[in-house]
């Protein structure tokens, strides 16, 4: 067997359901918002089972959304939501310092 060298992405273009990574990620957000048909969800789930990069991305987003959704139901204080979004910003940025460097104290 010979592998082609035109390797693109982890799922390699031969998705059985006609579902590739780009579409999976794109649809993921709709999925998380609960605005997908059952059929569509199964398509995504099947893709995630075979594609770990997508699964990881999905896991992170899904967990976050679920946590937030649950906390919101229990009427979480907005300060916690603020902390979550800050943590996210921190995680994606290079800087790690979360304390005020400039001495701008907010009362
Ligand atoms: Zn994928």
32: tokens are: 């998380």
pLDDT bucket at 104, cuts 50 / 70 / 90 = low
pLDDT of residue 4: 54
- In this predicted structure, what is the pLDDT of residue 102? 62
What pLDDT shows up at residue 7? 47
Dist CA 24 CA 26 (whole Å): 5
- pLDDT band for 41, please (50, 70, 90 cuts): confident
Please answer whether residues 91 and 64 qualify as being in contact, where contact means their C-beta atoms are separated by less than 8 angstroms: no
Cα-to-centroid distance, 7 and ligand 1 (Å): 14
Reported as half-sphere exposure (CB side, CA atoms, 13 A), residue 100 has a value of 6
Q: What is the pLDDT of residue 90?
A: 84
Give the model's pLDDT for residue 53: 86
Say how many Å lie between the CA of residue 82 and the centre of ligand 1: 31
The Å distance, Cα 70 to ligand 1 centre, comes to 27
What is the tens place of the pLDDT at every residue in 9-35? 554 444 445 578 888 877 777 766 777
Q: How far is the centre of ligand 1, averaged over its atoms, from the C-alpha of 60 (Å)? A: 14
Q: Please, is 58 exposed, middle or buried when counting C-beta atoms within 10 Å of its C-beta (0-12, 13-18, 19+)?
A: buried
Q: Ligand 1: distance of its center to the CA of 16 in Å?
A: 12
Residue 2 CA to ligand 1 center (angstroms) comes to: 22
pLDDT digits (tens, 9 = 90+) for 43-90: 888 888 888 888 888 787 777 777 777 766 666 667 877 888 888 888
């Amino acid at each position: 067997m010979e592998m082609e060298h035109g390797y693109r992405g982890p799922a390699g273009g031969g998705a059985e359901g006609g579902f590739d990574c780009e579409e999976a990620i794109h649809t993921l957000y709709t999925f998380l918002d609960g605005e997908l048909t059952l059929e569509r969800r199964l398509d995504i789930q099947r893709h995630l089972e075979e594609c770990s990069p997508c699964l990881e991305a999905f896991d992170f987003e899904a967990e976050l959304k679920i946590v937030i959704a649950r906390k919101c139901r229990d009427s979480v204080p907005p300060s916690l939501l603020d902390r979550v979004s800050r943590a996210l910003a921190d995680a994606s940025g290079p800087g790690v310092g979360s304390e005020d460097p400039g001495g701008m104290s907010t009362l």
